[in-house]
Amino acid sequence: MRGALALLLGMEPDLQVVAQVGRGDAIVDAALLHRPDVALLDIEMPGISGLDAAAELRDQVPDCRVLILTTFGRPGYLRRAMEAGAAGFLVKDGPVEELAEAIRRVLTGETVVDPALAAAALSAGPNPLTARECDVLGASADGATVADIAAGLHLSESTVRNYLSAAIGKTGTRNRQEALREARQQGWL
């Protein structure tokens, strides 16, 4: 997908693709080397997420504008992308001409957001989970025990249980697996 997208964008007379990377943890190094005006990132990437890479780009390559292009059109992801400094957020199902136009608009300083997703994000409200609840819930993803999570995050087991209980309550679910699934579905993790 990345190669095909780069090829199509390279056909635009005023756009030039200067680098492609397949891992989130390679983005900042590539941006420091090639100094792009815009970085087009996905959310789900090996290494680190596109959201984490966007925050690193904001800090290390502040002249590079970030446009998130993803299949994960979730309000929580949109909020997190904007908090990470992204200048745009689009869902992959649009035509490449719209993407090229979004890149041009981001270059002029505009913020470009998929309109349907923006409306959904406004009606969804903010992430109800605290950062620590997200950490604990995320640490439970691979089936880790409470003791494993506590050791990994340097917390007591009772504190881990409290965070998991709060996350379950805030997501309106019955257990931590359901809470994790709901948090991911909403884009909070």
pTM for this model (two decimals): 0.68
Could you give the C-alpha distances from 168 to 145, 153, 158, 163, 179, in angstroms and in order? 16, 19, 15, 9, 5
Radius of gyration of the chain (CA): 18
Rounded mean pLDDT, 95-115: 88
Tokens of 145: 């025990």
- Return the sign of the alpha-carbon dihedral for residues 134, 139, 145, 146: negative
pLDDT 10s digits, 139-169: 998 889 999 999 999 999 999 999 999 999 9
Statement: residue 44 has pLDDT above 90: no
pLDDT 10s digits, 47-71: 999 999 999 999 999 999 999 988 8
Q: Which of 12-26, 59-73, 93-107, 110-124 has the lowest mean pLDDT?
A: 110-124
